[in-house]
Amino acid sequence: MELFLQYIVAGVTYGTIYAIVAIGFNIIYNTTGIINFAQGEFVMLGGMTAFTLKEYLPLPVAIISAVIITMIIGALIEIVFIRWLHKPSVLRMIIITIGLSILIRETALHVWGEGVTALPYFTGTSVTSVNLGGVFISPQVFWAVGISSIMVILLGIFFNFTLLGKQMRACSANREAARLCGISTQNMVTFSFMLSAAIGALGGCIVSPITYVQYDSGSQLAIKGFTVAILGGLGNSTAAVAAAMILGILESFSIWALPAAYKDVVSIAIMLIILFVKPSGLFGNAAAARLKEY
């Protein structure tokens, strides 16, 4: 029983990071209809930048600075590479964002090298743990789950109650109409890149002590995040969080049945099955998905 719960906790921890990546996907997808293949790279950049900055700054300041720097990079990416394209085809956008992801990864390789980095635990050390009814949980897990939950709530408030958030939603519902109402749709796209970069970077920082970050962590996270986004139904962030927990837990239990080397195979196989059987996601309805497509 304890072991069972231990697996659940591990699953939730991984689920948290997948949820963060998926939310990043959704924010950009909602405003632009683009899947940003470089989404995982924002997570990696956040973790790596914070790791470097913490040499000179206190940890919380380092994390905040890393988030801001990644946010600026996100904005720059949108302004330099995306903003001025006129109605680019999906194929073109896929290839551009893949190119960006390669570029960011290779830059990271030359800046930070191949080494694995990890931020220190926010409280305690790697051996500190809280005993909850026989289950040992690292305090970092509480940090990760806690900060992510707060982030999801803040995002909900942002999109539903602030003017900027409402403008971004209007932009996703009907771009043309939003533009006619005087909303700068281009700025909304830039905001969406900044927001999703910031969220990714923060995610990278909070899970870095547990999962470690490396120059090539991004692409793996991207595919997991996408799996989760699909599971939840593309564009639906609340469902993505639930889907992330399911995937994280499934993955963590797959280690029981299969060699650990095949862990990724399990989650990708799940993604393929969902794409084949119900591309609108576990929680989405088919009609809504069809509307999205056209």
* Footprint on this chain of another protein (rule: CB under 8 A): 35, 37, 81, 85, 88-92, 94-96, 98-103, 105-107, 109-110, 219, 223, 226-227, 230, 259, 261-262, 264-265, 268-269, 271-272, 275-276, 279, 287, 293
If the CB atoms of residues 256 and 276 are measured against another protein, the closer one turns out to be 276
d(CA 115, CA 215) in angstroms, rounded, equals 8
If the CB atoms of residues 183 and 271 are measured against another protein, the closer one turns out to be 271
- Taking the complex as a whole, how short is the minimal distance between the CB of residue 190 and another protein, in angstroms? 17
If the CB atoms of residues 55 and 293 are measured against another protein, the closer one turns out to be 293
- Taking the complex as a whole, how short is the minimal distance between the CB of residue 107 and another protein, in angstroms? 7
- Taking the complex as a whole, how short is the minimal distance between the CB of residue 106 and another protein, in angstroms? 4
If the CB atoms of residues 59 and 268 are measured against another protein, the closer one turns out to be 268
161 exposure class (CB count in 10 Å sphere: 0-12, 13-18, 19+): exposed
- Taking the complex as a whole, how short is the minimal distance between the CB of residue 186 and another protein, in angstroms? 17
- Taking the complex as a whole, how short is the minimal distance between the CB of residue 96 and another protein, in angstroms? 5
Contacts of 31 (CB under 8 A, 6+ apart): 168, 171, 172, 188, 189, 191, 192
